[in-house]
Structure 1
Amino acid sequence: MTLTTRITAPGLVIGTVAGVFTALFMLVAGAPPAWAVTGGLMLAAPLAAFGAGCSALRLRGVFRGGAFAPVALYWLIAFPLARLVQEVGTRLVVGDSFALPPQPVSFLVYQALISVGFAIGFVWVQERLVRGGADR
């Protein structure tokens, strides 16, 4: 496995797994299957893209191993955008109408708060499963 693959793969996998869990949780919560699958895909795609981007920045040395703050700042912007894509995209595909979530500013602020947890998980996976990532 090349270094590039080792670095970008976790970002892709994390986004994909998050989308699968989203779809499963939506099904368990009673959402119609079309909403659950669409919601999962609409979250998986941007999270996988942003995750690969974050990993690529690490590969280029912009984010060094063990540094949490730059990754947290990255996800502070990327995670709310991914969630916004999911919300708007799911409503557009399944509901056939373009609509922002209710109270969009509050929605984005809440997602920014959640992004810190996502960043912690992302750094943990990058550090533990990739064993040092780009620093190796």
Structure 2
Amino acid sequence: MTATMEPAVSGRILAPGVIIGAVSGLFAGVIMLVGGAPASWAVTAGTLLALPLAAAGAGCSFLRWRGLLGGGHFAPLALYWVLAFPLVRLVQDVGTRLVLSDTLALPQHLWAFLAYQALISVGFAIGFVWVQERLVRGGARR
């Protein structure tokens, strides 16, 4: 297949990752609401998590489809999310502060924040792979 894809093919390939990422971010916003966070904070944080997670999920689906993150091999997928998830969370954290308090600031202990998110990312990678391979009929395969 050439570098350019037909819209129907690209939609079929990218949709699982986009949907998983978006639903994960929106679910986090709902959990924040249930936990008592102010609605503006929950909506902002949920949206700022859903959008970059959807983009990272689309990237993961595309790389799986291209064979760079092969099915049945968890280590490359875990490595992808160890890199992508902390960046997504950093975008969410900085963006939420910027939107809600007009302050552009990084987390106080940036390296600790990123390391913790990298640890959490492995659990997200397991869930992402499980959903993509079990519920989306084999995920993004050629």
Taking structure 2 as the reference length, what is the TM-score of the superposition?
A: 0.88
Secondary structure of 2:103's match? coil
Separation in 2, partners of 1:115, 1:95: 27
Structure 1: gaps of 5 or more residues: none
Deviation at 1:134, TM superposition (A): 4.2
Secondary structure of 1:10's match? helix
Give 1:1-136 correspondences, 5 Å limit. Answer: 2-135=8-141
Deviation at 1:57, TM superposition (A): 0.6
Structure 2: gaps of 5 or more residues: 1-7
Separation in 2, partners of 1:58, 1:5: 14
Indicate the RMSD between aligned Cα atoms, in angstroms. 1.6
Which deviates more from structure 2 when the two are superposed, residues 100-109 or residues 86-95?
A: 100-109
Q: CA offsets, 1:50-82, max 9 Å, x none?
A: 000000011111111111111100000100000
> Percent identity of the aligned residues?
67
Which deviates more from structure 2 when the two are superposed, residues 84-93 or residues 26-35?
A: 26-35
Deviation at 1:91, TM superposition (A): 0.3
**How many pairs were matched up?**
136
Deviation at 1:6, TM superposition (A): 3.1
Deviation at 1:7, TM superposition (A): 2.8
Which deviates more from structure 2 when the two are superposed, residues 89-98 or residues 27-36?
A: 27-36
Runs of 4+ in 1 over 4 A off after TM superposition: none
Deviation at 1:35, TM superposition (A): 0.8
